[in-house]
Amino acid sequence: MAGKEIVTIDIFKQDYQSLIREAVSAINDERNYIKAYDLATQAKLIAENYLEDELSIIECERIRGLAYLGIDSSIGHDLIKKLYFENKNKFKDNKDLLIKLELALGVSKRVIGEYNKAIQVFRKIYKYAEKKVNEEKSRGKDVSEFIRIIIRCYIEITCCLIYKSQQKNYLVRVNLIEERLKKLNLMEIRDLEEIYKYVDEQICNSEINIELNEAERYIKKAFLMSKEHNLKDLELFSLLDYACVLVEKKEFDEALRILESIKEEQFVQENLFGYVLDEIGIILIHKGRIEEAKEYLDSAWNWLYKRNDINELNRICYGIALYFFKKGNLDLAYAFAELAYKQDQNFPCLKLLYEICLIKYISAQRVGNESEYAFYRSEYDRYKLFCNSSL
């Protein structure tokens, strides 16, 4: 009987490990957060009922929290924060567990917009991991897991710095627009075009590029390290984020070259194809190739639709909103931008919503459409308030 029990436990352990691997892949590779949450929940049931191992249960809760960040960032952050503080003293000697919990905490802080705090967490982790690499190498031990942690931290810091740059860009842009609007008595669309031209000239300053230059340094380190250690998945993630840095720096041609070079890779085809197509579409819009961009955005939408990934479909609505904005269809631009912003509260989307509402309320005021004026003026004030609350 004892032998049968051991075999049964081994089977449950294998099932648990398989579910955990699939859940992690669903988050990191597929970005399918609902699938990841369900898989981690199944693993937790096995851990609670058959393995009776507290560390296995904590690992399930960590993955469930990370998955929930992609479903509802506020709830996901609360789950991860609670898990971290419940266990940081209890398992203070278990460095491997604490690193995993701290990584999750850093990700959650990044997702909810606490970029500086997230960067502090990731810097602490990668410095510890660098120390462990040196120690373990001298003992002839495998350091691959610590290498992955270092690269992941570099990538996460890059993302935080991109978002900080976008935030600063948005705040400076809105404040400059508001400053110019106060000087105008009569507001026409042609006045806005002059304002945007002035703002674009003013906003190209070195202060905003500080974060982007630092982000570029980190992501280059991530790319070189992942290439050196033949970590293809992290190499491709690094290139994707490097392209995002270049887009923010308005180096569209180089960003496009990178994305075109990786879109046929098998890992990208299986896991990131829709996101790469979406990013290419956005770049083409910035380059004025509007109709060509639409083909990429349609393909990105179809790819995600086939995967039944509603969260990510909503998230890529920003590119579609930008397309309609450039085509002059502000109603559809507003509808898609709202969908995108509800799923992923990012500053490019916030900037687009602010500018759509500004144009719409000025147009409504000019033609005397009181109901439309009231709605878009209210929305404009709301998005302007977001700017002030971010200061």
On the question of pLDDT at 20 being above 90, the answer is: yes
Q: Write down the pLDDT at residue 6.
A: 54
Q: φ, ψ for residue 345 (rounded to 5)?
A: -70, 75
Could you tell me what percent of the chain has a pLDDT over 90?
62
Segment 44-69, tens digit of pLDDT: 999 998 887 899 999 999 999 999 99
- Give the residue from 44, 18, 24, 35 showing the smallest Cα distance to 100: 24
Q: Where do the domains of the chain lie?
A: 2-112, 114-262
Cα distance between residue 31 and residue 300, in whole Å: 14
pLDDT at 376 over 70: yes
- 165-176 pLDDT, tens digit per residue, is 988 888 888 888
* pLDDT for position 123: 98
Residue 255 pLDDT greater than 60, yes or no: yes
Higher per-residue pLDDT: 292 or 204: 292
3-state secondary structure string, 50-100?
HHCCHHHHHHHHHHHHHHHHCCCHHHHHHHHHHHHHHHCCCCCCCHHHHHH
More confident residue, 7 or 291: 291
pLDDT of residue 389: 53
Q: What is the pLDDT of residue 1?
A: 44
The pLDDT score that the predictor gives to residue 342 is: 83
What's the confidence (pLDDT) of residue 300? 93
Cα–Cα dist 90/83, whole Å: 11
Residues 185-240: tens digit of each pLDDT = 555 556 677 777 778 777 765 566 788 999 999 999 999 999 999 999 999 999 99
Task: Tell me which amino acid residue 212 is.
Answer: L
Q: What 8-state DSSP symbol labels residue 316?
A: T
At residue 186, the pLDDT reads 52
Q: What is the pLDDT of residue 4?
A: 47
d(CA 324, CA 248): 21
pLDDT of 374: 94
**Between 144-181 and 95-111, two packed helices, what is the crossing angle to 10 degrees?**
20
Mean pLDDT, residues 359-383 = 90
pTM beyond 0.75 = yes
Burial class, 161, CB count within 10 angstroms (exposed 0-12 / middle 13-18 / buried 19+): buried
Give the residue, 208 or 87, on which the prediction is more confident.
87
Residue with tokens 């627009």: 177
Query: What is the model's pLDDT at position 190?
Result: 62
In sequence order, what are the residues at sequence separation of 6 or more whose Cβ sits closer than 8 angstroms to the Cβ of residue 7? none
Where does the pLDDT of residue 391 fall: very low under 50, low under 70, confident under 90, or very high at 90 and above?
very low
Beta strands in 230-315 (DSSP E): none
103, 149 contact by CB (below 8 A): yes
In tens, the pLDDT along 131-157 reads 999 998 888 889 999 999 999 999 999
The pLDDT > 70 percentage for the chain reads 93
